[in-house]
Structure 1
Amino acid sequence: MTDNEMQEQWNRMVENMNQAVAESVEQNMDAQARFMEAWAETMDQSMPDEDAMEDSLESYNAAYSVWMDAADRMFERLTDAAEGEDVAVTEFRDIWLQSANEAFKEVMGTTAFAAATGNVVESMMELQREAEDVSQDTLTRMGLPTRDDMDEVGERLIELERRQHAVEKKLDRVLEHLEE
């Protein structure tokens, strides 16, 4: 292999690495932007009190630090690779996955996140109740039994069985007395 060929091969390798790094950084920035948009949207919906807001801002700062540390580690490993060290591609993936987990833990552990999650669950339960009411109303209008109707029938059957058992016990006692 000639020096020119080696230089061209080196240039292609560096170009490919630069492209991979640029794509990785772009994906990281996109992930951070989506994360922050979701966080901001959640915060807008739940408007926490001052303490919760302070807690959430602290968690955001901690999450941001995690992302910046990941970027620093990526840069260090890229430098190591450029200097000839054998760096596995999976290391880069692992850095970002670990960082994403740590950043999400920072935000998910806050009272503001818990409040926002509670609000979402409450909204979902309200939607479920409304859908159930519409369903019950539709069945009633169609002349079909609703869940409430079926529950009432079930309760009546249970009451009838209880009474039947009581009558059977009394009958057994009467029969015992007659046989004596």
Structure 2
Amino acid sequence: MNKEFFDQWTKTQEETLGRFTKDPLLLGPTRETSEKVLKNMKASLKFYGTWANFCLKFQGPSTTAMEELYNQTADMMKGEVSPGDDYKEFYKRWIETYEKTFDGFLGSEEFSADLAAFVGDFMDFKKGHEDLLEDQLKRMSIPTKGDLDAAFKDIYILKKKVKDMDSLRENVDGLSADMVSTKNDLQKAKMEIAADSLRKKVDGLSADLVSTKNDLQKAKMEIAALKKKMETPSKKTRPSKK
């Protein structure tokens, strides 16, 4: 496409259809939708223009490589032709010529700038087209990409909450098991303390019983000795029978 023709075409579109985006009286209640349509139209025209210019830039290196390959082929054809070897040589030169030419072209700053413009205009066109399509789908009560993204986000959040709750429940179950084990250990310790205290009391009572028994035996012995002592004088004072 001739660049001058494309520039004139773009200018004409801007002066005719482009006026609608600046005059709300011509659009009425459909202004918002019409603005999106015309904005997307402008983005598409700009994208196709950038695309045409981008493709046009490839013609220069292609023509240069083709001319150089033609000259090399003409030199090869001057001598005796061998179909097998000459075809391999032609193929080798074809690859080398195009690689050399396009390596320089693809590595140039001009190509990088054209590629950046092409990608940028394409993304603007794509975004405008998706916004317009989503607006039309909403009017027809059809789920849009935005609706699906929101639903997927909610599902992700719910799944994350469920996962967190499962993890919390596992932690609570672990704590409950630890608490039960601690409670059992505490009860066991209390029982051991109570048993030890009871054993000490029993030992104390046993010692008291032994002491009481000893005291009782001692008292019995003292009583027996006292009785014996009391009986001895009475035998001496009793008169003898003649």
Q: Which amino acid aligns with 1:116?
A: D
Tell me which residue corresponds to 1:118.
Answer: 116
Q: Which amino acid aligns with 2:76?
A: R
Tell me which residue corresponds to 1:134.
Answer: 132
Q: What is the total number of aligned residue pairs between the two structures?
A: 121
The answer as to 2:100 corresponding to 1:102 is yes
Q: 1:70/1:153 Cα in 2 relative to 1: closer, same or farther (>3 Å)?
A: closer
Q: Distance in 2 between matches of 1:69 and 1:121?
A: 31
When normalised by structure 2's length, the TM-score is: 0.39
Tell me how far 1:97 sits from its aligned partner. Answer: 4.8
Q: 1:44/1:100 Cα in 2 relative to 1: closer, same or farther (>3 Å)?
A: closer
Tell me how far 1:104 sits from its aligned partner. Answer: 2.2
Q: Which moved more, 1:69-78 or 1:144-153?
A: 69-78
Root-mean-square deviation (CA, aligned residues, Å) is 3.7
Q: Percent identity?
A: 19
Tell me how far 1:110 sits from its aligned partner. Answer: 0.6
Q: Which amino acid aligns with 1:164?
A: V
Unaligned residue ranges in structure 1 (runs of 5+): 1-39, 46-59
Q: Which amino acid aligns with 2:176?
A: E
Tell me how far 1:163 sits from its aligned partner. Answer: 3.0
8 Å CA contact retained: 1:67, 1:103:
no
- 5 Å-filtered alignment, 1:1-180, equals 41-42=53-54, 64=64, 69-80=68-79, 85-88=80-83, 90=87, 91-92=89-90, 94-171=92-169, 173=172, 176=176, 180=180
When normalised by structure 1's length, the TM-score is: 0.50
8 Å CA contact retained: 2:69, 2:93:
yes
Tell me how far 1:151 sits from its aligned partner. Answer: 1.7
Deviation digits for residues 25-50 of structure 1 (CA, Å, limit 9, x no counterpart): xxxxxxxxxxxxxxx944999xxxxx
Q: Distance in 2 between matches of 1:165 and 1:114?
A: 47
Unaligned residue ranges in structure 2 (runs of 5+): 1-51, 181-242
8 Å CA contact retained: 1:43, 1:112:
no
